[in-house]
């Protein structure tokens, strides 16, 4: 069991200088680096006129954070690859991995906002899931080929590299037999320079929601999965889909919960009442802003709710509804016990804490992180170590 931190940039006041927001994230990541967190995870979003998701280039910011840290891994959760040119993305990822000395985890995302796709790549509109997945799958294919092979070519339904027909220009005489068709002198292979620091590839992840198609795709391509708000029971069901698909595609067993991660909204204080006093407002305002899927994303498998309650929750999710379904809120003791119970059901490899939301003062996030780092995580680490030792002795 490993622990990460999810970090975004936001300012719903729209009044603070962006460099101050960047400095606060730097402080968070430097602290987590010193305290032994496994990863910091960065999202990608564009055109946030509401001041909520103000990090359009996680790769560039990851390079800055890598230069300021020593041990923590830098994760993308996710690079929305449908909005990138695949070769430029491969080059940037390889360069980032080199600059981070192999501390990069690459999370791929398909994108779920029409505003972004309409302006960045209409061919990947998430309102057309088949078209979106076609661009996503082809982009991932290009990136994997470019990063894992010194010399590569790729041909898919969307992209073909090298572009056909190129023979020479003033700077490239194309006379290397490794790259050229000897009969036509046409360029038929490319190289991404530099390649990644981690060989053959940095760890790959896919951010998924409820689609078995996405879980099976991630398993087929040996990518871990990152999820967000499902209950432990729903996660158990989805992790079974992922494990079974992984074994189907790779012909070997994988431990339940391996190669999986969950992002959990978390706040630790002296008591749950104090956690609610400080953080409930920003948390619930954020959850309700993103409530376009409705309450069903928080339900257990087979669970139904009364139509009138569902209608109410579509208008406004409540803390009491999500408390035991998708939150780690409370005192040190309470949060430790919540995470233990969660792990017993899911066995997930990494828990990623999200401890800040638009409107929460930075000082409160830092206080929460200190309680996590100094009191919660040491207890969980010792518990997990003892648990693993007992399991090993019993085998």
pLDDT in tens, 316-352: 999 999 999 999 999 999 999 999 999 999 999 999 9
Please report which confidence band the pLDDT of residue 279 belongs to, taking 50, 70 and 90 as the band edges.
very high
CA distance 175 to 376: 60
Contact present, 144 and 115 (Cβ < 8 Å): no
pTM of the predicted protein model: 0.96
Structure tokens at 344: 């017993």
- Predicted confidence (pLDDT) per residue in 211-246, tens digit: 899 999 999 999 999 999 999 999 999 999 999 999
Q: What is the DSSP pairing of strand 154-155 with strand 160-161?
A: antiparallel
Q: What is the largest CA-CA distance in the chain?
A: 75
Residue 392: predicted pLDDT:
80
Spatial neighbors of 380 by CB under 8 A, at least 6 apart, are 1, 3, 336, 339, 340
Helix, strand or coil for residue 155? strand
Structure tokens at 187: 């360029």
Across 183-190, average pLDDT: 92
Residue 355 is given by DSSP the state -
Across 122-151, average pLDDT: 97
- Return the residue matching tokens 């002198």: 185
Q: How high does pLDDT run on average in the chain?
A: 96
Across 176-199, average pLDDT: 93
The yes-or-no verdict on residue 364 having pLDDT over 90 is: yes
> The domain spanning residue 194 has which CATH number?
3.20.20.30
Residue 57: predicted pLDDT:
98
- Predicted confidence (pLDDT) per residue in 151-171, tens digit: 999 999 999 999 999 987 777
Residue 276: predicted pLDDT:
98
Structure tokens at 30: 């430097």
Q: What is the DSSP pairing of strand 154-155 with strand 104-109?
A: unpaired
The yes-or-no verdict on residue 127 having pLDDT over 90 is: yes
Spatial neighbors of 44 by CB under 8 A, at least 6 apart, are 55, 56, 57, 58, 76, 78, 79, 80, 83, 109
Residue 291 is given by DSSP the state G
- Predicted confidence (pLDDT) per residue in 72-116, tens digit: 999 999 999 999 999 999 999 999 999 999 999 999 999 989 999
Domain containing 385: what range? 2-394
Residue 144: predicted pLDDT:
98
If one counts the domains in the chain, the total is 1
Residue 132: predicted pLDDT:
96
Please report which confidence band the pLDDT of residue 390 belongs to, taking 50, 70 and 90 as the band edges.
confident
């Amino acid at each position: 069991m490993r622990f990460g931190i999810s970090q975004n940039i936001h300012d719903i006041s729209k009044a603070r200088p962006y460099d101050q927001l960047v400095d606060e994230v730097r402080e968070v990541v430097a602290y987590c680096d010193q305290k032994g967190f496994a990863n910091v995870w960065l999202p990608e979003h564009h055109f946030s006129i509401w001041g909520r998701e103000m990090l359009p280039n996680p790769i560039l910011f990851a390079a800055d954070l890598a230069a300021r840290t020593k041990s923590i891994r830098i994760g993308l959760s996710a690079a929305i690859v449908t909005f990138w040119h695949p070769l430029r993305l491969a080059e940037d990822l390889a360069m980032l991995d080199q600059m981070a000395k192999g501390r990069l985890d690459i999370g791929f995302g398909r994108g779920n906002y029409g505003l972004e796709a309409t302006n960045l790549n209409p061919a990947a509109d998430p309102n057309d899931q088949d078209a979106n997945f076609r661009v996503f799958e082809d982009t991932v294919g290009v990136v994997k080929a470019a990063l894992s092979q010194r010399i590569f070519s790729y041909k898919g339904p969307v992209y073909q590299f090298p572009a056909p027909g190129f023979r020479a220009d003033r700077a490239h005489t194309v006379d290397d037999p490794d790259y050229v068709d000897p009969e036509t002198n046409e360029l038929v292979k490319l190289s991404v320079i530099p390649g990644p620091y981690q060989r053959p590839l940095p760890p790959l992840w896919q951010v998924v929601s409820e689609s078995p198609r996405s879980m099976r795709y991630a398993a087929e391509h040996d990518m871990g999965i990152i999820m967000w708000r499902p209950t432990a029971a729903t996660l158990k069901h989805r992790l079974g889909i992922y494990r079974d698909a992984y074994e189907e595609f790779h012909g070997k067993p994988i431990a339940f919960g391996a190669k999986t991660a969950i992002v959990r909204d978390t706040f630790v204080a002296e008591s749950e009442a104090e956690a609610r006093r400080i953080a409930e407002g920003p948390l619930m305002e954020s959850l309700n802003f993103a409530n376009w899927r409705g309450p069903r994303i928080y339900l257990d498998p087979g669970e139904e709710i009364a139509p009138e309650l569902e209608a109410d929750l579509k208008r406004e999710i409540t803390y009491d509804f999500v408390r035991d379904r998708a939150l780690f809120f409370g005192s040190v003791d309470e949060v430790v016990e919540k995470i233990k119970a969660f792990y017993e059901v899911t066995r997930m490899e990494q828990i990623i804490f999200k401890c800040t939301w638009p409107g929460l003062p930075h000082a409160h996030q830092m206080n929460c992180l200190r309680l996590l780092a100094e009191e919660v995580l040491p207890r969980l680490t010792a518990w997990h170590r003892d648990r693993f030792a007992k399991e090993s002795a019993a085998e």
